[in-house]
Amino acid sequence: LFAGECEFFFGSQKIDQLPPIGRPEVAFAGRSNVGKSSLINALTGRRALARASSEPGRTKQLNFFNLADRVSLVDMPGYGFAKAAKSVKEDWQDMMFAYLRGRTTLERVILLLDARIELKESDKDVMELLNRAAVVFQIVLTKCDQVRPKALATKIAEVEALALKHAAAYPRIISTSSETGFGIEDLRAEIARFAAP
């Protein structure tokens, strides 16, 4: 699946401008700068497929990527970006939430959490929302190259405990690094389960 072609095919800035329902979709959500775009690049082996940047708020629309005509990967704008104007933030949130709630082909949300930092209120809010919307989400830790094994183990335990409180949370946490490729194969295997034949 991941050896095949992957290309950008649609960007939506408004919820009424989504691509037509088609392939199964897996969406990547998380705080601004957590590493969503970088992870999509690492998964697909394409350095600059999704635009990544150290400047938070890089991804400003829902970006849809066609992976081998079998599954779509959806790069979402990050939440919790303090610098954005309030109206902009609310627009993004409404859009994100509307997409997450209403998309029948959305098979799973990959919810990214930075392994180096504390869980934020906004992360917990999004988990609540996904839970209420009954959208199955899987927590993936990012930037694991930057934490020591012991700290990572503590982090995993903390996040697992939180996942257990949400019926919609898939219980398996995957630790990754887009820099080193750690955990990328594991995540590919998870995503491959949703791909159309």
Residues in the site for ligand GTP, rule: CB under 6 A?
Answer: 30, 32-38, 52-54, 56-59, 77-78, 142-143, 145-146, 177-179
Region from 34-42, 117-125, 159-167, 188-196 binding Mg ion, contact rule CB under 5 A: 34-42
Residue 36 or residue 103: which is nearer to ligand GTP going by CB?
Answer: 36
Q: Residue 70 burial by CB count (10 A; 0-12/13-18/19+): exposed, middle or buried?
A: middle
Sheet order of strands, 71-75 included: 6-12, 62-67, 71-75, 25-30, 106-114, 137-142, 169-175
Residue 160 or residue 179: which is nearer to ligand GTP going by CB?
Answer: 179
3-state secondary structure of 26: strand
CB 39 within 8 A of CB 97: no
Residue 42 or residue 106: which is nearer to ligand GTP going by CB?
Answer: 42
Q: Tell me, by CB under 5 A, how many residues bind Mg ion.
A: 4
Q: Write down the least CB distance from residue 70 to ligand GTP, Å.
A: 23
Residue 21 or residue 148: which is nearer to ligand GTP going by CB?
Answer: 148
Q: Mark residues 53-72: x for contact with Mg ion by CB under 5 A, - for none.
A: -----xx-------------
CB 121 within 8 A of CB 93: no
CA nearest neighbour of 27 among 90, 89, 71, 81: 71
- In whole angstroms, give the CA distance from residue 62 to residue 27: 9
- Specify the residue for token string 């791909």: 195
Q: Write down the least CB distance from residue 113 to ligand GTP, Å.
A: 11
Q: Write down the least CB distance from residue 88 to Mg ion, Å.
A: 15
31 binds Mg ion (CB under 5 A): no
Region from 20-28, 32-40, 116-124, 126-134 binding Mg ion, contact rule CB under 5 A: 32-40
3-state secondary structure of 44: helix
- In whole angstroms, give the CA distance from residue 182 to residue 42: 10
- In whole angstroms, give the CA distance from residue 122 to residue 61: 19
Q: Write down the least CB distance from residue 7 to Mg ion, Å.
A: 17
Q: Which of 33, 37, 44, 177 binds Mg ion (CB under 5 A)?
A: 37
